[in-house]
Structure 1
Amino acid sequence: MPRGIKKEHLPSKDCARCGKPFAWRKKWARDWDEVKFCSERCKREKGSEKLSQISK
């Protein structure tokens, strides 16, 4: 990405676990298509929330 891009113009996705939107980061530049989670915490807990909703 070129320098000087404002945050509102960066690509974004919704987290696969929590559903919150998150924006592109430089460290994800090479594998942006494979990024699914907004944080390491969501990545670690990827199945726990969905399982608890099903059992209710």
Structure 2
Amino acid sequence: MRKPGDLPKKVCATCGRPFAWRRKWRLAWDEVRHCSQRCRENRNRPSKHENTG
């Protein structure tokens, strides 16, 4: 069993926040781009979390 700190991580394409591997993504980890369903649904809208400068 891996420790939580050892899990692979990615950055969400919508909000820019880091997120870690989840068991439900084990078969499709390469295709996962968003940290949540909410980010996936709002991918075309600008995020409040992004740094705009």
Does the alignment reach a TM-score above 0.5? yes
Q: TM-score, normalised to structure 2's length?
A: 0.85
- Unmatched segments (≥5 aa) in structure 2: 48-53
Q: TM-score, normalised to structure 1's length?
A: 0.80
Tell me: higher relative CO, structure 1 or 2? Use CA pairs within 8 A at least 6 residues apart: 2
Larger Rg: 1
- Unmatched segments (≥5 aa) in structure 1: 51-56
- Aligned pair count reads 47
4+ runs deviating over 3 angstroms: none
What's the % identity of the aligned pairs? 49
Tell me how large the CA RMSD over aligned residues is.
1.0
